[in-house]
Amino acid sequence: MDRQPIIIAHRGASGYLPEHTLEAKALAYAMGADFIEQDIVLTADDVPIVVHDIHLDTVTDVSKVFPDRCRADGRFYAADLTLSEVKQLRVIERIHHNTQHPVFPQRFPVGASRFEVATLAEEIELIQGLNKSTGRSIGIYPEIKNPKWHRVQEKDISRIVLNLLSDYGYRRSSDNVYLQCFDPRETQRICCDLKSELKLIQLIGENSWGGGDVDYEDFRTQAGLQKIAAFACGIGPHLGHVVSGKVHGELVITDLVSTAHRCSLEVHPYTFRADDLPEYATSLDDLLEIFLEKIGVEGVFTDFPDRAAKFLMDSMS
């Protein structure tokens, strides 16, 4: 590996504080992350906000504040609330939609303290402000969420986000930003139609996740990766796409990373969690060692950026 792998704070330091809050981002910054992730959706008045889903009900108290604003499916959508209304919400630790139980029971207590939804602009200003005051150069790693769904709502989320990024100085491949998306048609559009020069990452999911008409299995082949290399500089696969498990005590490592490298693509897998380990790993350090030292990926998405930073520091000493 030519350079030290990067630590990407997944939704901030989300192992410690409610995801995508400014507090979680400030903590991730202090913990040594190289990049901090922003999942982006739009409000009713087309303001980019930092929330993982187009729904708000699993990470906020929207059902209590605006109980009459749900759609026919019983879900509450960011696109149905103005920014002013979104700012009235209280962010909570993530819960399951059906059971209302916390997804990670040992993390920050649900409903404790006071957190709010941040705009993309607010988060960029926080990170850029910390860069100025600390002398560091920490990057941002936004994701365009559900562009096809946004288009149905008559919202061009990619164009709006690119304009905002440009306003804050993120315009070229040399700028300290990666822009990611699960929809390969949108990633290609950002590159070819919207003429973005930013570093683009093609996220890779599973067909079983209900992502529509995208065949992610095809994008994990050499031919698929070559297609990606025409418009992106890297891929963001799931951990299971890289290591499928163990057989007779031996790791089963796919050829995805080696094939991606032959196509000159970086690989930034997701998600490294100390409290949600795959069965073949005994600890987060064990998992990091497999991916960073044995396989040689260029970056990792983790909810625990401090532990990843310590692992890298210890491995260099």
* Active-site annotation, residues: 10, 52
The answer to whether the CB of 182 falls within 8 A of the CB of 215 is no
Separation CA 123–CA 120 (nearest Å):
5
Cis peptide before 60 (omega within 30 of 0): no
Separation CA 140–CA 138 (nearest Å):
7
- What is the DSSP track for 60-106? B-HHHHSTT---TTS--BGGGS-HHHHTT--B-S-B-TTT--BSSTT
Residue type, 65: V
Smallest CA-to-CA distance from 33 within 176, 139, 119 is with 139
How large is the C-alpha radius of gyration of the chain? Answer: 19
